[in-house]
Structure 1
Amino acid sequence: MELRARTAEQIVAGANPADAQFRLLVESVADYAIFLLDTAGRVASWNPGAERIKGYAAPEVLGRHFSLFYPPEDRAAGKPEAALQRAEREGRCQQEGWRVRKDGSRFWGDVVISALRGPGGELQGFAKVTRDMTARKRERDNDLLRVAMFERTPAGIAMADATGRYAHANPAFLRMLGYSAEELAEKTLGDVTHPDDAEESWRVFEDLVQGRRNQAEFEKRYLSRNGQVIWARNSVARLPDADGRLRYVVAMVEDITERRRAYEALSESEARLQAFTRHSPAVMYLKDREGRYRFVNEQFLQRFGLRREQVIGHSDAELFARDQAQAFADRDAEVLSRGLPLQFEETVRYADGERHNVVSSFPVFDAAGAVAGVGGVATDITEAKAAEQALREQRTLLAEAQKVAGLGCWEWGPSSGRLVWSEELCRIYGVDPGSFRPSFESYLDRVHPDDRAAVAHAVAGALMDRRGFSFEERIVRPDGAVRQLRSKAEVLRDAEGRVLKVVGACLDITEQKRAEELLRALTRRLVEAEEAERRRIARELHDRVGQNLSALNINLDIVLGQLEDAPSRRRLEDSLALVDATLQSIENVMADLRPPLLDEYGVGAALAWYAEEYAQRTGIRVAVDNAHDAGRPLRQEAAVALFRIAQEALNNAAKHSAAKSIRVLVEDQDNEIVLSVSDDGKGFAPEHAPRGRWGMTTMRERAEAAGGRLSIQSSLGHGTTVRASVPF
């Protein structure tokens, strides 16, 4: 750097490039590229050092702009021009950066550009001195990299002198032991080593110091500043100086405390597993992908009457009869191909005879996640199997009998055709249990002709799908009496899923159905009575109260015209306003009791009127879409029911839904008129709706009283739709 500075100073001092001494000076410097630029930055001279460093001969570069030595990204950023401007402004510009040789390769250059001025201070050009610093930059970068690795590596690194005292340690090692750099500098390796490991640590250290070995790897325990034990894997080596004498012993320290704990936990777990498999009553085994046994427990050996050396390393085909070995191999192949656990029941020939097992077979994976074999646990369920079958039959009958005491029960074997009826069932059917021989055909003969096809289809579907069924049916007794029954049955299956029998019970619900019909009739009469009472009250309000108030209004108006006293006129005007308001209230009450539009123009017009009044009162937008054919006559009972259901649904929406808009749709579908009231409110879960609340029972009763039906669809966050359908 000193030589370069002196050379640049000679150029800046105004040395004449044509002077022989100057040329000799420049040409004698081979480690530096020294050349002149004109005021525009074009190369004006070239020395051997420049040719060596940049690769251009003088004829190839003279007259060309010096920016060709810069990388494209620097040229695009305007760095060459900026350097000349700085040199012109400050007299000198020094930079380091990448430069480009003729062959396109790059080198790291240390560059000085000096402005050359004439006697009057005018700019005459520039002198440029460049030195190739690539090797020095690489060495500097490597030093920085080594420092970064030492400081930032997650592994601990520590250096100790020949006495074992710590000289250097990286942050990871300091964090591991909890010491500061100053505190650790006062410690030797023995001070931070667990007492049980100290002797061996010093022995290895002395071997390294004396040169008996150059490196060593071992595990040992450290003691942290707070006394915590830290397991670590140590990779230690001699670090000599340039003359080969020991400078430091360096150690790479990896904290393996958690790994050791995991290993110890695994060892304990393996011990527990071995104890479990040794004493478990279940048969346990492991096989490799080729089907060779790698592990079996004591129960396996006892059950099959084999010794361990006979089993380990051998396949099923070498141990068992062909059919049993093939069954085992087929199950294993299924687990291996699917890579998923499989549970099944099987019959196995043990040394003491055939037994029924429930087997859990599962894939065993290697460290890479590939299936390496098959494992299995087989539990003997022979006694449980027999007891379970008997218990299942009794439990089904008992459960049905407990649900509804006094039911008629039956049991049918589809394969044998045998059908057994209880005495109570015979009584329900009106037959003599002593003489009647039930069969499926005789049962179908007693089903009402209108229900026979549906009943036969339900039973056949239950047998085909191997599931239970429940339905209501009508039967005809021998005396011609029709009874209504609710029948429920369950299908019992064996281990392979085959139907063993069908058991069921029947409840006579004739009286219940009659009561329901009476209740519907009563509800219809109550609705009719309510509507009649509404009409009567509306007429009374109109004919009596309304007429009297109208007359009072006229009289007050006449008196008002005759009064001149201002206070009296104001009182009378207030009275007139009160009478008008009362008349309006009465009109609203009459409309609510019995909207005149309902009788005169039909349900569509009445709903439109009510929706407008509802929107004004609640602030909720209501759209009424009346697609009903006004030409089709609608029963008065049906019109009133739909109007009242719509009223109740709208009132519920205002109270509970927080809706912003509601759509009311009236449309004709076949022989029914259908009303839908849909809101965009918060909705609710129908199964959690409080019974007897929100008017749902009233709405359903009105629909059923008119011969129709009502349904409600809702879910949280998705609004509610009330749908009522009644016949014309």
Structure 2
Amino acid sequence: MEVDQSWGQKAEDALGLASASEAEKLLVMLAATFFPFCSDSANDIQCAAEMPDTTTLYRTLVEQIPAILFTASLEGGISEAYVSPQIEQLLGFTQEEWLNDPVRWYQQIHSDDKARWSMDAAQMLLTGEPLRADYRVIARDGRVVWFHCEVKMVRRTDGRPWFIHGAAFDITELKRAEEALRRAADELEARVEERTAELARVNAQLRSEIAERKRIEEELRRARDELEIHVEQRTVELVKANEALLREIGERRRTEDALRKSEGTLRALFDCAPDAIIVIDQRGYILQLNAQAEKIFQYGRDEMQNQSIEVLLPEVDWTSWCDRAFHLGEFESCGQRKDGGLFPVDVRLSPTETKEGRLVIAVIRDITTRKQSERELREYASRLKTLSRRLMEVQEVERRRIARELHDEIGQTLTGLKLTLEMGARLPREKPQEVFGQALEMVNGLMATTRKISLDLRPGVLDDLGLLPALIWQIEHYTAQTRVRVEFKHHGLEGRRLPPEVETAAYRIVQEALTNIARHAQVDEAVVQVLADDQTILINVEDRGVGFDPEVVFATNETSGLAGMRERAVLLGGKLTVESRPGGGARLTAILKTGRNEVAS
């Protein structure tokens, strides 16, 4: 390849060296720094003599830099004078192809970045200010490669622009990582909005159900009032009709027809009511019921008529219930279907006195869904309260441990260091070395203690290298501290990063499980197994120790960390189970959802 032979001279002038000899001396110093093949100062002159010429040294240094370095002459228009071999590795073009085509560099710039590059280059040529910007370049195979460019212009001694030189660094992976982080943030925001909308819909549904219930109750009240008024009116009419029976036979027939039509309308309203309506006599027997009652209790109308109400409401004692019907109003009870299944119901009583005796209209609503929602809310509140209490306990324990370590280790070391330095200050000036040595040893111990406390709080290897290195470090550290050997098996974690919250949860679950083994299991061996696929990560921690009763531990909320581990798994859409019995060892299994937000190592 033919390369501009004045390149070395241009680099020498650009560096501001007075002569070629000074440039050679500088290159010898750089070579001695980066390639220390001469270790004896007596041989420096001989080694310098064996160094290659200045141009070769410049080229060797430039071509070792992991970036595309280039120069371009400004005399007679911009044209490439030199480009480093990394052009072929990053873009697929050889040096000859790149330099022989004077417009290739502009053709390969991404179409969306050409106008910006032109403006930036013009600004640099007009003002002489360095160009620093990011651009996309199209490789030979069509890939889009991101480069961060650093370009400067060199002038001649008379101030005229001479040439430009610069470096282009591949930042494609950085850009991909930024895009992955942006997508993760968008997805999280979308999930939050979705959850908010879901809660709003549930709230609106509850308000709608409450309003519907009030409306139905108001309609039933109006229907009852209308029915009473209508019955009174019809009674008056019948009395008059009886007095004029002989004279108004025709009128009576018309009145009877109208009565039948009215009863049909009432029956239709009665059957279309959304709740079960049952008319009961004073003995507790069912006289009438609507279609909704057949649907709820799964009996036919003929099967329920003349049956005791206690068949449908087994918790009701009708003997005492009927006497208090006027005062009971609305209450909750338990209904029983034909198949024997029990379900919660809301009962509203409306007693009335008739000529035949006291009747009670019972409006019954199935509240299974409402009870289930209330139970789930209570369970969630209980778990949340337990978790909050557990978090406070863990926080206080951790604070006490840190305070104890600061007082017992760092505090005592600082006190000893203070006394040592005070003693050294009182010694003669020619005898402080031994005291300073002791002080230095104390400072080193203090730094080691501080680093240990920092690693116990959160190991940096988890954030820097990922879950697998962090677990290996934790197990080695655990074995050294507790003398409990751990057999570690894993699959699917090599060279892979999971979402931070998944890595943290998995690490803490393994850490807490091993801590429980060291405290309670009374064994010298344990097994940890971590298996991961595209969607989940499975964690098994097993020992053959004294064992325990998991139900008792969860019920008494003992501070074994099991509740905290379970909440970590549930928050990630997973679950945690514990299998154990007294004297039979223990096995903890956690399944976590990993999702698709992974970062390639």
Looking at CA atoms only, which structure, 1 or 2, has the larger radius of gyration?
Answer: 1
TM-score (normalizing by structure 2): 0.33
Structure having greater relative contact order (Cα 8 Å, sep ≥ 6): 2
